[in-house]
Amino acid sequence: MNIATRLFNSSLGMKYLMSITGFGLAGFVIAHLIGNLQIFLGKDVINRYGHFLQSNLELIWPARIALLAMVILHIWAAIRLSALNRAARPVSYKKWSPTAASYASRTMLMSGLIVFFFIIYHLLHFTVQVEAINLTGQNFVTFSEPLPDGSTRHDVFRMMVAGFSNPIVSIFYIIAMALLALHLSHGLQAMFFSLGWKKRSYAGLLDGAAKAVAIFIFIGYVSIPIAILFFKYGKEALN
Ligand code: HEM
Strand partners, 186: none
Closest CA relative to residue 49, chosen from 66, 31, 24, 61:
31
Closest CA relative to residue 43, chosen from 152, 156, 151, 154:
156
| For the chain, domain boundaries | 3-238
Using CB atoms within 10 A of its CB, is residue 6 exposed (0-12), middle (13-18) or buried (19+)? exposed
Cα 56 to Cα 151: distance, rounded to the nearest angstrom: 17
Report the 10 Å Cβ neighbour count for 27: 11
Report the 10 Å Cβ neighbour count for 177: 22
Distance 40 CA to ligand 1 centre (A): 16
Tell the CATH topology of 3-238: 3 helical TM bundles of succinate and fumarate reductases (1.20.1300)
Q: What is the pLDDT of residues 142-187, one digit of tens each?
A: 999 999 999 999 999 999 999 999 999 999 999 999 999 999 999 9
- Pick out the chain residues at pLDDT < 50: none
Q: For residue 217, how far is the Cα from the chain centroid?
A: 9
- The residue whose CA has the least distance to atom 8 of ligand 1 is 126
Distance 189 CA to ligand 1 centre (A): 25
Closest CA relative to residue 127, chosen from 180, 72, 50, 73:
50
Residue 154 CA, closest ligand 1 atom number: 16
pLDDT at 88: 80
- The mean pLDDT value of the chain amounts to 92
- Give residue ranges with CB within 6 A of ligand 1: 29, 32, 36, 50, 54, 60, 64, 67, 119, 122-123, 126-127, 156, 160, 173, 180, 221, 224-225
Q: pTM here?
A: 0.92
